Structure 1
């Protein structure tokens, strides 16, 4: 490092006084100490470095292809080339436990590298999955994506990276085709979703930020909707800083249901603060507001107008309905035919009885024969 005297000598040659150089160095030092690197910024959803301030520290958060978005179904474009997605190895969890931790922003479950997703232009390998939720219970919002302005109670994201083109997720996340994320909207009902208990039952062990726990491995596909063929597809970004615009989003049309008690557990157990912190802060409302879709088009794998593309559940319901209708119609026809056949013999018997009653007997015919008229003499 140059001494201040040497710097002054350099400054004189550059027509800059020592005082000016001192001011310049002081300003530079001030900038170094007051402008931390983006990686060191502790961002939040609400507060000093909340959503409205993200772009000041993470420039990509001000991009024109940000996520999440509100999917307006009437503005989506049907793409017949969007085939059903195929989970690869989701059910092959093996005996090795999953790692789950509290990041201070959400609950994260790391996924083994043999899991992936098919049905995209490249092979994408699973990295992790996490959740977003609200704070007001059912019907108060909590999902990041919305459909026609309506939000769900929570949302599950399953993150994959393009392992065909990039060596790791760190490299892939900075590339436009680097990531593929599945978005599963979650609503509440009366029945408990046993699959989500594989996560929720262990939240109490990671109540504070940076805490980690090993949980039994389970079939990740049980968390997904049953219909993987109806979804919306668009190009977007990470929904948290650094907001890289590198995500191919797949938001499923079918919602997954959990119970009200399960949602309450998700909303009230975790803290965004660390165990050593004096003030505990509940981890709630960890969802980003929807972003302008701008120039982008959201594609749909099904035609909402024509209704030609039906889910497997809808097809099953229609088939069962048609079969029940056919059986019912057959029973009615059989009943009518049987009734007609039963009435025909009765009608014939009545007609025969009437014929017998109307036909005169031989004795009656004799009595009714007219007596011969008297002969006329000639």
Structure 2
């Protein structure tokens, strides 16, 4: 009987030694063996009803006026001690000091780490985990905190429903380089392979966050990687953070999910989980739809340029109208002056002198001329008469 009991005990111990480590050492992936579709088979919580990420349909969110802005605590007080950058085969992780935290929630949350998710096709090809009304961003940053007010450490807190608080920051690409993200991206080449780590200079973590921390979405969800514990209070910011296309390319092409000694090297890409069903969960918003649509920098630039062009066009039109009015005013004045100068005598006929007769001599002068002509004729006739003495001679 003792031998049989000892045998059973040894069998149970062997079973525990062979099964338990196998569950802990399962190598999960995003695609392929133990990919997303198989996660729930090995990690039961991954098949739960409150999984993350989700698609935030803005028209179905509920405004909650009690959602106050979260307050980053100690994010800018990085001190002199360096951070640790680590390639865990699934993402690039930066461990954060425990004096960093998060205020604005019912409990105090202490920072643990932050990491990134991205795609493989460049800009506009997806890479974020959360989506907004069906649209994904190019990448996503997660800043992870645990409930240090209720639980002693991260390991304990991550199994509790109110144990974690994660900030989700959507990342899009543009033309300008984001200097804050270079604090991470410039050191990725030192952790190219899985399980490599390096110390990097500490920097202000808050520079990675959106400028507007007042507008966000809030829901209860889970870790987006196995074991998928449903213990996360999610805060997904409405404002996107922008990096350059070159920065996104570096993020997508520089890391490997395999070890340096592995014979086949696989790029670490598309490390984002597909969106999960809400299952009657409600996503709350810290802002109402009436507060206005959030505009991207490109939309703001387009609006500013449009307004400037409109102002310039309006100024040109006003100037043209003024010049046209001046032209017709001057033309009217000149017409009035010309008409006045040519018709002044018609306007005042009483002041117009009578016309002088032309080639008409005075009557007295004419009579004198007639008398002079008559007298001249008479004298001539007298001279032509013959003398009587001349007529009597033989």
TM beyond 0.5: yes
Q: Is the 8 A contact 2:239 2:294 kept in 1?
A: no
Q: Is the 8 A contact 1:155 1:184 kept in 2?
A: yes
Query: How is 1:320-335 mapped onto 2 (pairs within 5 angstroms)?
Result: none
Report what 2:62 is aligned to.
77
Report what 1:91 is aligned to.
76
Report what 2:351 is aligned to.
364
Shift of the 300–213 alpha-carbon distance from structure 1 to 2, 3 Å rule, reads same
Is residue 2:15 matched to residue 1:31?
A: yes
Report what 1:233 is aligned to.
218
Is residue 2:3 matched to residue 1:4?
A: yes
SS in 2 for 1:36: helix
Report what 2:271 is aligned to.
286
Mapped partners of 2:272, 2:131: distance in 1: 11
Mapped partners of 2:132, 2:296: distance in 1: 21
SS in 2 for 1:113: coil
SS in 2 for 1:117: strand
TM-score, L = length of structure 2 = 0.75
Is residue 2:154 matched to residue 1:155?
A: no
Q: Which moved more, 1:252-261 or 1:36-45?
A: 36-45
Mapped partners of 1:63, 1:184: distance in 2: 24
Unaligned runs of at least 5 residues, structure 1: 8-20, 369-378
Unaligned runs of at least 5 residues, structure 2: 356-394
User: By how many angstroms is 1:315 displaced?
Assistant: 9.0
Query: How is 1:160-179 mapped onto 2 (pairs within 5 angstroms)?
Result: 160-179=145-164
Mapped partners of 2:265, 2:328: distance in 1: 84
Q: Is the 8 A contact 1:181 1:249 kept in 2?
A: yes
Report what 2:197 is aligned to.
212
SS in 2 for 1:87: strand
User: By how many angstroms is 1:286 displaced?
Assistant: 1.5
Q: Is the 8 A contact 1:98 1:109 kept in 2?
A: yes
Provide Cα deviations, 1:323-361, integer angstroms capped at 9, x if missing partner.
998898799779977986897688667657755655545
Q: Which moved more, 1:267-276 or 1:128-137?
A: 267-276
Report what 1:265 is aligned to.
250
SS in 1 for 2:51: coil
Q: Is the 8 A contact 2:71 2:102 kept in 1?
A: yes
SS in 2 for 1:204: helix
Q: Which moved more, 1:335-344 or 1:48-57?
A: 335-344
Mapped partners of 1:100, 1:126: distance in 2: 15
Provide Cα deviations, 1:277-296, integer angstroms capped at 9, x if missing partner.
34333222221121111020
Shift of the 194–295 alpha-carbon distance from structure 1 to 2, 3 Å rule, reads same
Report what 1:181 is aligned to.
166
Q: Is the 8 A contact 1:302 1:309 kept in 2?
A: no
Shift of the 335–108 alpha-carbon distance from structure 1 to 2, 3 Å rule, reads same
Mapped partners of 1:46, 1:227: distance in 2: 35
Report what 2:45 is aligned to.
60
Q: Is the 8 A contact 2:53 2:275 kept in 1?
A: yes
Mapped partners of 1:235, 1:198: distance in 2: 31
Shift of the 240–326 alpha-carbon distance from structure 1 to 2, 3 Å rule, reads same
SS in 2 for 1:239: coil
Q: Which moved more, 1:295-304 or 1:42-51?
A: 42-51
User: By how many angstroms is 1:119 displaced?
Assistant: 3.1
Mapped partners of 2:279, 2:33: distance in 1: 28
Report what 1:122 is aligned to.
107
